[in-house]
Chains A and B, each alone.
Chain A
Amino acid sequence: MSKKLLLAASAAAILSASPAIAADDADLDALRAEVQAMRAAYETKIRELENKVETLEAKQVRTDERVASVEPAAGRPPVPATSSRQVNDNSFNPEIGVILQGKYQGFSEEDGDIAGFAIGEEAERGTEGLSIDETELNFSANVDNLFRGNATVALHEHEGEVEVEVEEAYVETTSLPYGLQAKAGRFFSELGYLNSHHSHGDDFADRPLPNRAFLDSNYGDDGVQVSAILPTDFYSEIGGGVYRGNDFPGGGAEGGDIGSWTAYGRVGGDVGDNTSWRLGASTLQVSEADRAANEDMVVFSGDSGLYIADARIVHAPTGNNAEQELIFQGEYFHRDDDGFYDDMDAGTGPVAYDDSQSGWYAQGVYKFDPQWRAGVRYSQLYAGDVPAGLVGSALDDGGHDPWAAAAMVDWTNSEFSRARIQYNREELADGHEDNQIILQYIMSLGAHGAHAY
């Protein structure tokens, strides 16, 4: 210490004595200003630190009080005092989440049409090359003690134009008795397994063929849905809804009619500690729809009934899903179309059609390490028989049943980030074999709600 002082003193002596470094006034002023600025900066910093200490002390006192107040007062329910966090104006802001996705897709086949099916926009195979796919903005919050609100807006590019889509905008009840829950607004209906899930949580980079062909990836319409979990020892749930009927496989809804309705029933449970399962059946009935497909070039007018059976089994080989997990999942679809198909590309004019189509997929995903999963999936579609007027149209499968096989590996760093590589081999139309490679990342910022089973 004394050595340092000595040094400093001698340095000061040399400095003041030495004429060589006698500064002119301007230099001195600059120096003074700099010192002044430094002092100001230090003072601010010290004030900040003092404030921090004060806040911390205040917090400590509050916590102590809270712990002290745990002694329950007689007759008063010991419900915890609300969070000791300060209540600011923004504490009632909705939880905001953003899903960022990016993709590279490479296809060996130019044409992505599905033989025998007229499909919606979301069912197309996506952009080749690099793209940001779909960016999802999600806002949710409790409205009050009875309701919760949720809005999901998706931004994506379609043929060079940015499209803003209200994927979901609904309110739901949070605390109805008897296992009841009601939802109103626009939302992904409970249909089969995948339909009610957002694609960012999927196990593969694309939806299976039947979900694309029959539901345009997701059926999300404006309406009301009610569900009830029944008072059984195992899990059983029934529910259903009524909708405007404007989303694929509906469309062109106008007037005051209810365009479509859904119903579903499900059972589920555990087998031992390590395995859980769920089985479901559901239907979507659309009446007097005008379903536009294949970029509005194919229109179906009439009634359409879709029936879905779904199954899912989750098994944890070590008893701990965080470590290892094996998931099997499959869905079967059957659709009756009764009305008229008009393929404007083929110039068929409206042709009466009363037949059914079907399809299924089955998949297995194995989490072999807490961060790594591998999966395979197979999907298949069966188009209906076409009447003479539709031969050669998009509805004519040319004697080929479209199929697709997929294999993927993904890496999950945390529950908020995932990267995936997927290989698809498909033959969606006779002789059109397509080898696809997909690289993808999915990341979530901010609030991210819990995922359903």
Chain B
Amino acid sequence: MRRLFFLIAGLGVLLASPSPAFAAVNVFACSPEWAALAEEIGGDLVEVKSATNARQDVHHIRAKPSLLAAMRKADLVFCTGASLEIGWLPILIKKSGGPNVQPETIGWLMASDYVQKLEVMSNIDRSMGHIHPEGNPHIQLDPHNIATVADVLAERLMLLDDTNAATYQQNLKSFQDRWAGLISQWEADAASLKGRKIVVYHNAWAYLVDWLGLEVTATLEPKPGIPPTASHLETVLKQVQGKDVQAILVSPYEDEDAAEWLSGKSNIPVVHMPFTVGGNDKAGSLSALFDETLRLLKQGS
């Protein structure tokens, strides 16, 4: 028994030969949109690991072994912040994050620290559900936020890897030029969506709603983070009746049963939105994410 134990313990050590570093900067991104942005700005100079995929709810991820291993290598932790990842990121940082990716260091980039957050609350209580006191953290669906965060990201990459600073600067410039053009296209394209009434599952669409001037008529969750209940859905049904609501938005990680129920009762179509990069087959990049978001919103009507 003793021998067997040391054999197993020793195995771990033997397998632990250091792996060669291929990339200049290892980026640990908490969600696909930040992974995509890191690849836009970093190009071949960065190695990006996304901790989650579009089908996963970033609120509820386990601090699983593979993430500990990825954090061990991270030079830059690129996440949303505003307590979105509070259930798992602190464990990874404490357990395997080095001194250069601690809060308030250059290797710690929380995107929501740099944008104007919506729904900042001062008096909160857990009876209100899963509330983020810092404001709504789902900032990625306003392309202006992406542009703001891209600036900060490029700055960080230049500081972390100054030999390639010129390349990052170049990548940022070409991204921003292209992005500004896309934003004006999208905004022209989406002018007709202004004032459109929608129903959402979770309050995860605040920035899209704010950007396009949509109107949220009802939320399927009775309180943030609390799954829909039958009685709440009845209330929602009353709220939407006769209101000309055009779509029920559901993200890839949200349960669609409640949305389908409401749709069946009210004839409002359920629209499966990508929500983040990779959220559907066509939303493979940041620009495609917004193309798809607008296409689906318009089609939903």
Contacts and interface: CB of A to CB of B under 8 A. Distances in A.
Interface of A: 59, 63, 67, 70-72, 77-80, 82-83, 145, 148, 172, 174-179, 181, 227, 229-238, 263-270, 273, 276-278, 281, 283, 305, 307, 309, 314, 316, 318-323, 334, 336, 356, 370-371, 413-416, 449-453
A450 B62 CA distance: 9
A175 B98 contact: yes
Contacts of A77: 106, 155-156, 159
B226 A229 contact: no
A238 B102 contact: no
Interface string B196-236: 00000000000000000000000000000111000000000
A177 B4 CA distance: 31
Interface string B146-166: 001001100110010000000
A61 B108 CA distance: 26
Contacts of B102: 145, 174-175
Contacts of A283: 5
Contacts of A356: 1
B116 interface: yes
A319 B53 contact: yes
Interface of B: 1-2, 4-5, 8-13, 15-19, 53, 55-57, 59-66, 68-69, 72-73, 86-91, 93-99, 102, 104-106, 108, 110, 113-116, 120, 126, 129-130, 134, 148, 151-152, 155-156, 159, 225-227, 253, 255
A351 to B, nearest CB: 23
Contact of A452 (B91, B115, B126): B91
B64 A416 contact: no
A314 B10 CA distance: 25
Contacts of A449: 90
A77 B120 CA distance: 26
A307 B225 contact: no
Contacts of A238: 9, 12-13
Contacts, number: 194
Given A232-B69, A238-B9, 8 more contacts: A59-B120, A77-B106, A174-B93, A236-B16, A265-B13, A273-B53, A318-B55, A414-B129
B94 A70 contact: no
A251 B145 CA distance: 59
B90 A450 contact: yes
B139 to A, nearest CB: 13
Contacts of B64: 268, 270, 276, 314, 453
A7 B211 CA distance: 50
A188 to B, nearest CB: 15
A176 B226 contact: no
A234 B113 CA distance: 31
15 contacts: A77-B156, A78-B114, A78-B152, A79-B104, A175-B102, A178-B98, A229-B95, A230-B16, A232-B15, A236-B16, A265-B11, A266-B65, A281-B8, A336-B1, A452-B91
Interface centre among A82, A177, A281 (most CB of B within 10 A): A281
Given A265-B13, A320-B56, A414-B225, A450 B65 contact: no
B62 A265 contact: no
B97 A370 contact: no
A172 B226 CA distance: 34
B19 A232 contact: yes
A236 B14 CA distance: 10
A233 B69 contact: yes
B11 A268 contact: no
A309 B8 contact: yes
Contact of B91 (A78, A320, A334, A450): A450
Given A79-B106, A235-B68, A322-B253, A181 B226 contact: no
Contacts of B129: 414
A2 B63 CA distance: 69
B88 to A, nearest CB: 6
Given A283-B5, A450-B87, A174 B68 contact: no
A235 B69 contact: yes
B87 to A, nearest CB: 5
Contacts of A273: 53, 55
Nearest to B133: A85
A48 B9 CA distance: 64
Q: Which of A172, A178, A179, A316 has the most CB of B within 10 A?
A: A179
Given A319-B56, A450-B86, A276 B114 contact: no
Given A320-B55, A322-B253, A229 B87 contact: no
Contacts of B152: 70, 72, 78
Given A70-B152, A176-B98, A450-B87, A231 B93 contact: no
A119 B55 CA distance: 46
Given A265-B10, A273-B53, A453-B62, A70 B69 contact: no
A269 B64 CA distance: 8
A270 B13 CA distance: 19
B69 A175 contact: no
Given A70-B114, A371-B227, A414-B225, A323 B66 contact: no
A172 B95 CA distance: 10
Contacts of A71: 151
